[in-house]
Amino acid sequence: MQPEPSVPANGIILPRLAPPTPDTTPCMPTATPRSSTYVGRFAPSPTGPLHFGSLVTAVGSYLDARRAGGRWLLRIDDLDRARNVARATEGILEILEKFGFEWDGVVTRQSDSLPRYAESLERLRAMRHVFPCSCSRREMADSALARDGARLYPGSCRDRPGRIQPAYAWRARVAGTIEFTDLIQGRQHEDLESEVGDFVVQRADGQFAYQLAVVVDDHDAGVTHVIRGADLLCSTGRQIYLQGLLGFETPAYAHLPVVVNEAGEKLSKQTHAAAIDLANPARTLGNALRFLGHPSPAELTGAPVAHAWQWAIANWNLARVPRALQAAG
C-alpha cells in the first residue's frame, strides 16, 4: 500500500464503497473508531518456539499497552491445526514469563471460538455479503497476483446460480476502497476489487479463514489497538471491510517492521529461525528495544529484566519506531 500525504485527526478513514446493486453488493454498515480505553493483544501461533521476530512484536504491543495504562491480552491463534506443534503453546508461555511479560486475564485460544466464527459467517450469508465458490487453485492459476502474493480471484462464482455443495468455500463479496492511517506506516489506500478481490472467509474443508477469525476475536475481546508485524499490513483492509459488514468497531493499527535474516527473509519456522535464547533475557530484550528504535542506556546492561521493562515503558513512543516494512535483526 502506498502512503499518502494528509492524515485525518482520528487516524481512520471509513471505507468508500461503490453504489450497491440489488442482492449482489448490499450497502456496508459504517465502521467507527473505538473509545479511548486501551486494550492491546499479542496473538502468536503455536507452530514452534518463539523467535526474535515474534519477540519484537510482543515487546512492541506490550509496551504500547502499558505506556497507555491499558490492558494487554494474550491469545493463541491455533486455528490452523495442521500447522500446530505439540506443546508449542506451553513453550510460548514459558518464554513470555521468562522475559517478564504480564498479560491480563486468561489466555484465550481460537480453537475455543469456532461457534462464534460460524455465527458471524451465518450473519454474512444472511446479508448476502458472501457467496459460495467452487474454484480450485488450478482454475485460478492464470489470475493476476494480489498484494499478498495470492491469486486475485477472477469472480467466476460471484453471481453464478446453483445449489450450494458442502465442498464449496465461502468468499466475501468486495466493493470500493479502504483507507486508514497506520500509526507507524502512515496513510494507506487499497482498492478492494483490483488489489484484493473477493477473499475466502471459510475454506472448502470447513476451516474458517484467518481474516474472519481475527476480526471476531478482536471484537469479542474489545481490542482497541492492534500492534503487529508489517507482514500483516496487507490483511488490514480486508479486516476493516469485514468489521464494517458485521457492524464491529475498528481498532487503531500500527505495523512494526518485520525482522528479516541476511537473505531478506522473514524469520519463521520455514526459514529455520532460531528459537530465543533464554540464557540472558535482559540482553535479548535490549536487542528488541534497539530494533524498535529504543536503545536502552548502558547502565541497564546486565540489570534485571524488570529494570529494563521499567525504563522501556517510561520511554516508549511509537514515533521512534522506524517507518520501514522490514529490517535485519
Q: What pLDDT band is residue 280 in, cutting at 50, 70 and 90?
A: confident
Residues 6+ apart with CB under 8 A from 82: none
- CA distances to 82, 95, 267 from 264, rounded to whole Å, are 27, 26, 9
What pLDDT score does 25 carry?
A: 34
Q: What single-letter amino acid sits at 263? A: A
Is residue 264 over pLDDT 70?
no
What pLDDT score does 295 carry?
A: 95
What pLDDT score does 160 carry?
A: 73
Does residue 3 sit within a domain? Answer: no
What pLDDT score does 156 carry?
A: 77
Rounded to the nearest 5°, which phi and psi values hold at 244? Answer: -65, -45
Does residue 5 sit within a domain? Answer: no
Residue range 16-73, pLDDT digits in tens: 333 333 333 333 334 444 435 999 999 999 988 888 989 999 999 999 999 999 999 9
- CA distances to 23, 78, 128, 191, 235 from 196, rounded to whole Å, are 21, 25, 19, 7, 9
Does residue 2 sit within a domain? Answer: no
Residue range 145-159, pLDDT digits in tens: 566 656 778 777 887
C-alpha closest to that of 131 among 161, 153, 158: 158
CATH of the domain at 297: 3.40.50.620
Does residue 6 sit within a domain? Answer: no
Q: What single-letter amino acid sits at 45? A: S
Q: How far apart are CA 281 and CA 235, in angstroms?
A: 32
Between 124 and 8, the more confident residue is: 124
Q: How far apart are CA 241 and CA 174, in angstroms?
A: 8
* Domains in the chain, number: 1
Does residue 184 sit within a domain? Answer: yes
Q: What pLDDT band is residue 267 in, cutting at 50, 70 and 90?
A: low
Q: How far apart are CA 60 and CA 254, in angstroms?
A: 10
Place of cell 522473514: 266
Between 220 and 82, the more confident residue is: 220
pTM of the model: 0.83
* For the ranges 113-117, 166-170, 271-275, the one whose mean pLDDT is highest: 113-117
Does residue 72 sit within a domain? Answer: yes
Of 38-42, 132-136, 212-216, the poorest mean pLDDT is in: 132-136
Does residue 73 sit within a domain? Answer: yes
What mean pLDDT do residues 170-175 have?
94
Structural domain of 119:
12-328
Is residue 87 over pLDDT 80?
yes
In three-state secondary structure terms, 270 is coil
Does residue 138 sit within a domain? Answer: yes
Q: Which helix (H) or strand (E) holds 211?
A: helix 210-221
Q: Across all residues in the chain, what is the average pLDDT?
A: 83
